Structure 1
Amino acid sequence: MGSHHADELPTPTTRAGRDGLSALLARPGKAVVALDFDGTLAPIVPDPDQARAHPDAVPALAALAPHVAAVAVITGRPAGVAVRHGGFAGVPGLEHLVVLGHYGAERWDAATGEISAPPPHPGVAAVRAELPGVLDSVGAWQGTWIEEKGRAVAVHTRRAADPQGAFEALRAPLTALAGRHGLVVEPGRLVLELRPPGTDKGVALTEYLRGVGAEGVLYAGDDLGDIPAFAAVEKLRSDGVPGLLVCSGSAEVTELTDRADLVVDGPEGVVRLLAALAAQLGSARSA
């Protein structure tokens, strides 16, 4: 191989990271490569609508994807936007790619090209059924109204005789009702919204890895929103699932840099790492 130096895999600086990389190389078919989009696969630009994946990102992912259990892009953006900005649709080799959008509330599968959203949290229906009785028991039924939000339900006190008094009277009982069904109360202006606890990249990553039965993971990110995913990988490692944490770029989020096993030079470095992994797994398979 003439360009052997270009395919050199960097060595993680931590013991856990070296173990994570070794596990990925030893059992790639059981490993998931998960990546943030903005700042990790796509360079950060002043206008987020202009963000596009690094030109070498899709070729590197397409070379790597056939060797691993799956490649997942986890982003706060809507799944469809990340697919468009990434250029992920209809790429040979990327049939195993999934995009988890809205922090995991949406999922796009390359195999079908379809976006799916999970059914609403079962606690929402349970709370909806019990709400009238709770409002009744508090004596705050007069003038309150219930707003259906599909994935959440809200109680407004604006029309009550004493809006602020009704709001204060309902806060504790609604918090207790939400808690019994795994929901949280988000207070607003004379409104109490009962909704599932916030999804984040850690929850999305953990659920996805569990769903595919992954025995190893590489996660790459660059920003504060990626800290829950880093924490999820650290938790998996403490449970015996090897993982490698990669930070894209070293300047801005020191908390991420400090927890990473490997710091690379932005999306350019991420893409080089993916290409090197693909090359190593490809030569191992053909050996």
Structure 2
Amino acid sequence: MNSRPAPFEALSVAPATSGLVLDFDGVLSPIVDDPGASELPNRVAWSLARLGPTMGLLAVISGRPVEFLKERIAIPEIRLLGTYGIEQVHDGDTPRRSRREKVAKQRQRSDQCLA
């Protein structure tokens, strides 16, 4: 028998050591005909703002650039993950590229030098 709590139980029993990563389009924001017009509904923003300080990690991920998320989600406790997590913003910081992307760029430069 597994002694680990079910995911939902973990969120409610130990939120400070739990994480939640939510997709923007279709999960937090409804799908709309004009993708540029999508917005975070007020009730969702309110819920995230209340949840954020209690969680070990609360993040919103999207295939869109992180700047798109920054324009729509102004909640400091939420980590924003743009371009499927390649770009990251936390507490309003300037966007950062993930280590994986930096390594990939360095590998590409190395391959070009060796070619």
- Pairwise TM-score range, normalised by the shorter structure: 0.7 to 0.9
**Equivalent of 2:89 in 98, 108, 120:** 108
**Equivalent of 1:97 in 49, 61, 78:** 78
- What CA deviation, in whole Å up to 9, does each residue of 1:77-125 have, x standing for no partner? 00111221x2x22xxxx3321111011121111x243211232424223
Structure 1 residues 82, 95: CA separation in 2 closer, same or farther (over 3 Å shift)?
closer
For residues 95 and 112 of structure 1, the distance between their equivalents in structure 2, rounded to whole angstroms, comes to 6
Q: Which has more radius of gyration? A: 1
Give 2:48's aligned residue: 61
For residues 87 and 49 of structure 2, the distance between their equivalents in structure 1, rounded to whole angstroms, comes to 22
Question: How far 1:32 moved relative to its partner?
Answer: 1.0
CA contact (8 A) 2:69 2:80 kept: yes
Question: How far 1:40 moved relative to its partner?
Answer: 0.9
- Paired AA for residue 114 in structure 1: T
Count of residue correspondences:
107
For residues 56 and 114 of structure 2, the distance between their equivalents in structure 1, rounded to whole angstroms, comes to 43
Question: How far 1:31 moved relative to its partner?
Answer: 0.9
- What CA deviation, in whole Å up to 9, does each residue of 1:101-157 have, x standing for no partner? 011121111x243211232424223212211xxxxxxxxxxxxxxxxxxxxxxxxxx
Q: Secondary structure at the match of 1:113?
A: coil
**Equivalent of 1:73 in 31, 45, 60:** 60
Large movers: runs of 4+ above 2 Å: none
**TM-score if structure 1 supplies the norm length?**
0.35
Task: Summarize the alignment of residues 171-190 of structure 1 with structure 2, pairs less than 5 Å apart.
Answer: none
Task: Summarize the alignment of residues 159-170 of structure 1 with structure 2, pairs less than 5 Å apart.
Answer: none
Q: Secondary structure at the match of 2:88?
A: strand
- What CA deviation, in whole Å up to 9, does each residue of 1:18-51 have, x standing for no partner? 7111122221111111100011111111111111
Task: Summarize the alignment of residues 230-269 of structure 1 with structure 2, pairs less than 5 Å apart.
Answer: none
Q: Secondary structure at the match of 1:56?
A: helix
CA contact (8 A) 2:60 2:80 kept: yes
- Paired AA for residue 48 in structure 1: P
Task: Summarize the alignment of residues 136-285 of structure 1 with structure 2, pairs less than 5 Å apart.
Answer: none
Percent identity over the alignment is 28
Q: Secondary structure at the match of 1:81?
A: helix
